[in-house]
Structure 1
Amino acid sequence: MNRYFKAVSLMAICLPLAVIGQISHRHLLQKFTPQEVALSLVSREDFKPFPQNPGQWQGILPDTLAAKLLSKGDAALKQVFNDIPATVMLDFVRNGNRTRYEQLSFEKRSWLQDLVMAEAVEGKGRFADQIVNGIWSICEESFWGISAHVGIQKSGSGLPDVKDPIVDLFAAETGSLLAWTDYLVGPQLEKVSKQVRPRISYEIERRILTPMTTAKYGWMGGGNPEAKLNNWAPWIASNYLAMLLLIEKDTQKRTEGVYRAMRIVDQYLDGLGDDGASDEGPGYWNAAGGCVYDAINLLSDATRGKISIYQEPFVKRMASYIYETHIAGNYFINVADAHATLVPDGLMVYRFGKAIQNPELANFGSWVFYQLGKEDEGTQRFFRSRYLYNLLAVKECSAYPAQEQYAPDLWYKDVQLMASRAENGLFVSAHGGNNGESHNHNDVGDFTVYAQGQPVIIDVGSGTYTAKTFSKDRYNIWYNTSAYHNLPVINGKEQGAGTKFSARDVSYELTKKQSVLRMDIAGAYPPEAGVKSWQRRVEMDKKGEVLISDQYTMDTPLSSLTQTFMTVSSLDISKPGKIGFGITGQHPIVLVYDPALWDVTKEKIALTAPEDQLLKSSWAHQDIWRVLLTAKFHDKVKTYNFRIYLKVFEI
């Protein structure tokens, strides 16, 4: 299965609820008035960002890429655009499965994209009939979104109500795909039938453009301009912009829609802290910060650069987040539902770096593309406008210096995330925050450790999305709970879910010798835990050691206490006071604890539930282990210390 298909199908695809919280009022896009937008916006007829004839495409694309696009088009000629059975849509409410519907729906759209690009490059009409088959099949669908999102409709989940079209991520993706199809191969479609292009316009109008004029969806804040939005907002807004620019014929409606999209993107940006970081983690940056770039790139192109925010310092900080959170190779800091391994869209990152004049970001994008993402060249799914802009950048990117980027130390104050690395290759990240964040896991105070670019102590991440994932049973899934993060369970109580369960008194200190995050995580636990204060200190000693210190005071007697460490490393717990973590081809890592105070056990996690299955590939089919330290004594006030270091000889 294509990497981009997998990445998006496990991405933040939930029913989003607006989060009420403190937001800024930067209004970076709304500093431009509606009148300025109206005067700056080029006409629909003059908006020509991409070639519309084969000769131009062939001059832009490397020969190997053009051949690849034709090959994929030839493969799509053999496919059949079947209807998706109603019972597959009903899987979601019957058994929680959303994957079957998504695979059938996404495949149809991928085939159509392959056919369109092949025809755009070749221009002989060879793919036209099959393109029309794809268009017609998609236009005949009752619902352009996915089964997990039907619940946005007034009638709720199940089969969709065709009288209530709603705009979710994939309705917007579908509309954008059809709009670009009309732009790229419109004349060829007319040779097959004069009804095809009007059908595209009609379906986009009734399913997207008309609903958006009055929409108050949860992903937009439900009508509340103070609501904090997640990645749905820029993702949908970028696709909405493409449809407006390409399909909307009424000048006033087009301008009003563009400004509506600008407000949506602004509200998303206003919900981010001043550091530009996302509480959804790097795993969602492609669909969050990356989609902000998609939107502002379209706006700049459609106004000949008059509506542009590339030079805003905040935009530059938001863009830098993706390389600053890079650990090594395809490992990135992961929090909440994000996954530890990630291949960012290298061409998009490169283009973003060039647009904001950040050579480090452009270097990193070039490195990602050629070291991690070259196999997917020309095959990206989703983010349709980005896909086309990326094609234009392939030759240019090939001539640009490629360099893997690392941040030696980072501190994102607004999301309370720190990371630090030592010269011996040891890396630590840790965060405070709260348990009401987007795609939340109950993980306040969690930390991870890597050595020589390989995972040692991990955040497991999320598995396969099912109906259970975003329901009242979310925290019955083990990897969403604090008991399966690198955290204590106090008096048998795990952390609670919700914004009130948060870190307190968070501080960060960086010197030449150390990087230290301090926080009180007692507030992340319910009152029944009986904990008054739990001061966690996470330190990177620049000599090459990670030090964890937990100092607690109880309000009520302590009857039980455990501390978890999650890992995919091979384990040796045979020596009292030392836990050995095996690293392939490297010296082992040792965690030192006081054996007089703790008993140690380990358990292999059985990945048997439907929600667990994606974890197998997330961690390269390595076993996932839980190391459990159980306190021998139950003092009311106590300090525990753990030391993690690289051992230079075998354990």
Structure 2
Amino acid sequence: MTMDYLAIKRALQIGDRSEQGRMLFDEARDVRKWEEIRTSPFYRDMVADLREEGERLLSEPIVSLPFSSFKLFDTAGARIEFERSFFARRKRLSILAFLSLLDRNSELYLPALEDAIWAICDEYTWCLPAHLGGNSLKPSHLRRNRHSIDLFAAETGFALAEIVSLLKERIHPIVASRAEAEVKERVLETYCSLGSSYEWETLGNNWASVCGGSVGAAALYLIPSAEELAPIVHRLLGTMESYLAGFENDGASTEGVGYWSYGFGFYSYFASLLKQRTAGRIDLLEGEKIKQIALFHQKCYLTGPYTVPFSDCEPTSLFPMGLIHALKRRYPEIHVPNIEQKWSIAKDPIGRWGPFIRDFVWSRAEWIGEEWPDGTYFLPDAQWAVVRRTIDGERYAFAAKGGHNDEPHNQNDLGSFVLHVGGETLLTDLGSGEYTKGYFGAERYSYVCNSSAGHSVPIVEGSYQQAGAAYRAKALRFEESEEQVSYTLDLTEAYGTANLQSLVRQFTFKQRVLELRDRYVFREPPSSVISRFITLYEPAVSADGRVRVEGAAFGVEAVYDRRAAKPVIHRFDFMNKDSKLIPVYAIDLEAERPAEEVLMTVRFEIYSLT
């Protein structure tokens, strides 16, 4: 990707001389594609949902953003009250813009769209209070808050610039001009101002690609001069390199599939626009590493929408149809999931414009998709193992992770795993909790989903895993055959316990059985050794110590030496990312009279309830 300033300038100048470079996002201007969207059975239900939502929006006023909710983050640590209304405005903008493009001969939605644009231009800041560094209520930061660039200021600039470009001949000139002026002032001039520098420019996570890609997209739309664009693009390509540096060669995003969709999505939107603007001279989607990043998506699912929920990934995730279809055109190995598992803005609270419009104009109606194929994936850099198998017509899946405890959206989860069958994750990883001020602050590991206390990992002499890059796993072996998959991790360095000399965890997944072996070596007999397993289903413990977890159609029994360990069940409440309080159960198998060497073996045997 590395390009010098002169090469970038020449590429942009070549774009100036081509029709492709002058008309960005031409796929959204194709009248034949819009006719297909209006008439194809593939899009019928999607469009119907959006028309219904559009009718509702026409009958409801624009939601306000009062100071009483804006101040809550810095006064009470709460995010959801303000963000719910903030995102409702962006969702309103996106849906009304889409319907205006869909019904190009109708003025029905244009007045409401103009009002939505005007209201966003009126906002005090396009940043979330949570992203203003504790300065949202300081009078000395009035101007700085207006001109800060976070994820959502950048996204807002991208959305307004693109919507105005697509609808400029139909919306009122003062609305279009004001929107462009606000994007230039708040985003582009701020980004280009003397001495400007942002932490996200050198990050290796979604902030780099979303902020950088959105700033870049807005610049491509609003700055026609190749001479003015060249230094901006040159700087942004450095940010894109930082983003890609966050991936190793296995292409894994340790933030999880949700943040992969977000970060790599915005990377791809910018890449597509820049390729068009330079008439194909700059292509950010070239290269083997990019291909591996693209292929990561299909390695992140158990069955259907159920994800490998490590880090701050949610237990289910709907796929970005437009992005996946676009990547498949580039890389035929990309798997297109069943259309029923696609993301829908009608059901999404955030309402992002970039993925929404591309779900329609980048998609192909003939690609209805299919269930995830069987597969075994080992990602050596991330130290993830993911296995999907079909046994007698039922889908079984297992995933486990190593890594280190300073990953993006980190959780102390070395050695964590999930066991899934037929749409039920019987042993789980909780994924993301509710985002609050404390969740990303000093209190992060007091949240059970972020602490190793909320994961299926050992508790060593009452100690949990520690946070930081020094606390890490080592992947010792990964072996695959037709009959079984075996994965062995050294977890010794995950714990800050001086008495622990060695802890090796081995998973063996065969047919309907997952066997787990934890082998400990201590300097002297430990005070306690516990193997903890997390589930959302209430476990049952029989009088003789058998432990069972049952879902609706399947169950799993933990088979272990009941003379060597005793089971204890703990229940606690967990506030998930959707702000729903759900019960969680921890199954603790505590070793009886542990010696210097302890071998804890548990066989999880899956059975049908029908």
State TM-score, norm by structure 1: 0.84
> Whole-Å Cα distance in 2 between the matches of residues 280 and 606 of structure 1?
24
Q: Which residue of 1 aligns with 2:444?
A: 474
The equivalent position to 2:585 in structure 1, one of 625, 634, 640, is 625
Aligned residues of 2:565 and 2:591 also touching (Cα < 8 A): yes
Q: Which residue of 1 aligns with 2:595?
A: 635
> Whole-Å Cα distance in 1 between the matches of residues 348 and 303 of structure 2?
25
AA at the equivalent of 1:453: G
Aligned residues of 2:8 and 2:233 also touching (Cα < 8 A): no
Aligned residues of 1:426 and 1:646 also touching (Cα < 8 A): no
Note the 1:12-411 alignment, pairs <5 A: 27=1, 33-42=7-16, 46-50=22-26, 58-63=34-39, 64=44, 69-122=50-103, 123-151=105-133, 155=135, 161-164=141-144, 165-190=147-172, 194-213=173-192, 214-221=195-202, 228-358=203-333, 360-361=334-335, 363-364=336-337, 367=338, 370-373=339-342, 376=345, 382-394=351-363, 396=364, 398-400=365-367, 402-411=369-378
AA at the equivalent of 1:497: A
How far the C-alpha of 1:616 sits from its partner, in A, is 4.0
Alignment CA distance shift 1:560-1:140 (3 Å): same
Q: Which residue of 2 aligns with 1:458?
A: 428
AA at the equivalent of 2:257: P
Note the 1:555-570 alignment, pairs <5 A: 555-570=523-538
- Extract unaligned runs of 5+ from structure 1: 1-26, 222-227
How far the C-alpha of 1:256 sits from its partner, in A, is 2.3
> Whole-Å Cα distance in 2 between the matches of residues 32 and 457 of structure 1?
55
Decide which moves more: 460-469 or 308-317: 308-317
1:117-144 deviations in Å (ceiling 9; x for gaps): 2333334434333333222221121110
Aligned residues of 2:515 and 2:604 also touching (Cα < 8 A): yes
Aligned residues of 1:591 and 1:644 also touching (Cα < 8 A): yes
Q: Which residue of 2 aligns with 1:493?
A: 463
Alignment CA distance shift 1:298-1:381 (3 Å): farther
**What secondary structure does 1:506 align onto?**
strand
Alignment CA distance shift 1:247-1:613 (3 Å): closer
Aligned residues of 1:41 and 1:255 also touching (Cα < 8 A): no
Alignment CA distance shift 1:466-1:453 (3 Å): same
Q: Which residue of 1 aligns with 2:578?
A: 614
How far the C-alpha of 1:466 sits from its partner, in A, is 0.7
Alignment CA distance shift 1:356-1:41 (3 Å): farther
The equivalent position to 2:553 in structure 1, one of 582, 585, 588, is 585
1:86-122 deviations in Å (ceiling 9; x for gaps): 2211100111111111111111122122222233333
Alignment CA distance shift 1:71-1:426 (3 Å): closer
> Whole-Å Cα distance in 1 between the matches of residues 109 and 265 of structure 2?
31
What value does the CA root-mean-square deviation take over the aligned residues?
2.8
> Whole-Å Cα distance in 2 between the matches of residues 183 and 220 of structure 1?
26
State TM-score, norm by structure 2: 0.90
AA at the equivalent of 2:573: A
Q: Which residue of 2 aligns with 1:507?
A: 477
Alignment CA distance shift 1:290-1:507 (3 Å): farther
> Whole-Å Cα distance in 2 between the matches of residues 54 and 119 of structure 1?
15
Decide which moves more: 530-539 or 233-242: 233-242
AA at the equivalent of 1:548: L
Correspondence 1:531 to 2:500? yes
AA at the equivalent of 2:218: M
Aligned residues of 2:487 and 2:508 also touching (Cα < 8 A): yes
Alignment CA distance shift 1:585-1:52 (3 Å): closer
Aligned residues of 1:531 and 1:554 also touching (Cα < 8 A): yes
Aligned residues of 1:449 and 1:458 also touching (Cα < 8 A): yes
Alignment CA distance shift 1:29-1:101 (3 Å): farther
Correspondence 1:553 to 2:521? yes
Aligned residues of 1:311 and 1:356 also touching (Cα < 8 A): no
- Extract unaligned runs of 5+ from structure 2: none
Aligned residues of 2:265 and 2:355 also touching (Cα < 8 A): no
Decide which moves more: 323-332 or 493-502: 323-332
How far the C-alpha of 1:230 sits from its partner, in A, is 0.8
1:30-74 deviations in Å (ceiling 9; x for gaps): 799324433343479822424788966742423346565554433
**What secondary structure does 1:187 align onto?**
coil
**What secondary structure does 1:550 align onto?**
strand
> Whole-Å Cα distance in 1 between the matches of residues 21 and 520 of structure 2?
67
Aligned residues of 2:374 and 2:390 also touching (Cα < 8 A): no
Aligned residues of 2:21 and 2:276 also touching (Cα < 8 A): no
Identity percentage over the alignment?
Answer: 22
Alignment CA distance shift 1:160-1:506 (3 Å): farther
AA at the equivalent of 1:39: Q
> Whole-Å Cα distance in 1 between the matches of residues 267 and 30 of structure 2?
30
Q: Which residue of 2 aligns with 1:12?
A: none
**What secondary structure does 1:606 align onto?**
strand
> Whole-Å Cα distance in 2 between the matches of residues 32 and 522 of structure 1?
51
AA at the equivalent of 1:212: Y
> Whole-Å Cα distance in 1 between the matches of residues 265 and 110 of structure 2?
32
